[in-house]
Structure 1
Amino acid sequence: MAKPDPHQRTRRDHALETAEDYVEAVAEFIDSKGNCRVGDLAGFFGVSHVTVSRIVGRLVGEGLLKTEPYRPITLTAKGKKLAEKSWKRHQIVHEFLLALGVDEATAALDTEGIEHHVSPKTLEKLQALTRRLNDEI
């Protein structure tokens, strides 16, 4: 029997990180200012317009985003679903770190690293523990 590769899940998770970050950012821009453009994402992620254009093109191909030249970027139904799932996971991890007493700035940075690599089962436990910790306060 072949031994499971412990890094396989991590590699798979890394492949989804960019997609999750981008759909979440697109959703945030649409919610906050009504639309999202390449320049918004370039500024947000601190990367070039070319980098954003390439990533957006890939995500269009994956059915997560829609866009046309000189038009705003929008989410497909599949992209909205992923953005909602990513945002919820982000919130659970962030609230957990804050409940542990981690300061806001550190929690914000650490959440970005942790949120993509936590399993649904662990996320459920983090959420339950956060509720208990907050109830004790």
Structure 2
Amino acid sequence: MSDENPTIVEPSDPIDAETRVESFRQTRHNRRTELVEDYVELIADLIDEGGEARQVDIAQRLGVAQPTVAKMLKRLAADGLIQQRPYRGVFLSAEGRELAEMSRDRHQVVESFLCALGISPETARIDSEGIEHHVSAETLEAFRAFLARSGK
């Protein structure tokens, strides 16, 4: 640790090759699942707000073209996370709802943790959108413990 700022931890040893490989592997996995989690979380939000999620609403909220959404919805349907009904919209399967709730919870914990550190709510909301997908279970539990200790 540095004497000037005791809250910053200095790395003690270089990262060994095996740890580095695992770190990159985990990052690649997180990037692949990030879009899936964002979509199911958004679909859950739209269903909660209006009873269904329509492709046009998903595209508008994500700021992407409808063909992009259509391609992802096919993937989510193939993975068993959603069901598409003609002229009705998109609905989550039980597995999709579970993933959405897990993602929403992780997002809430990360956002609350950032706010507890003094980050503005606006910045915490934006930053947590990316961080939530890359936080390990161990780190998330540490965030929860910190929040419980601080009464947040």
- Bin for the TM-score computed over the shorter chain: over 0.9
Select the residue among 117, 123, 130 that pairs with 2:134.
117
Structure 2 residues not aligned, in runs of 5+: 1-16
Mapped partners of 1:41, 1:131: distance in 2: 34
Shift in Å at residue 131 of structure 1? 2.0
Q: Give the share of equivalent positions with the same residue, in percent.
A: 44
Matched residues, number: 134
Shift in Å at residue 34 of structure 1? 1.0
Superposition map of 1:1-137 within 5 A: 3-4=18-19, 5=21, 6-134=23-151
Q: Indicate conservation of the 8 Å contact 1:99/1:134, yes or no.
A: no
Q: Indicate conservation of the 8 Å contact 2:52/2:88, yes or no.
A: no
Mapped partners of 1:100, 1:131: distance in 2: 13
Q: What TM-score does the superposition give when structure 1 sets the normalisation length?
A: 0.93
Q: Indicate conservation of the 8 Å contact 1:92/1:126, yes or no.
A: yes
Question: In structure 2, the residue corresponding to 1:60 is in which secondary structure?
Answer: helix
Using CA pairs below 8 Å that are at least 6 residues apart, which structure has the higher relative contact order?
1
1:26-78 CA-to-partner distances (Å, cap 9, x unmatched) read 00111111111001110110000110011111110111111033321000111
Mapped partners of 1:132, 1:106: distance in 2: 23
Question: In structure 2, the residue corresponding to 1:115 is in which secondary structure?
Answer: helix
Moved over 2 A (4+): 68-71
Q: What TM-score does the superposition give when structure 2 sets the normalisation length?
A: 0.84
Mapped partners of 2:133, 2:87: distance in 1: 31
Q: RMSD in angstroms over aligned alpha carbons? A: 1.3
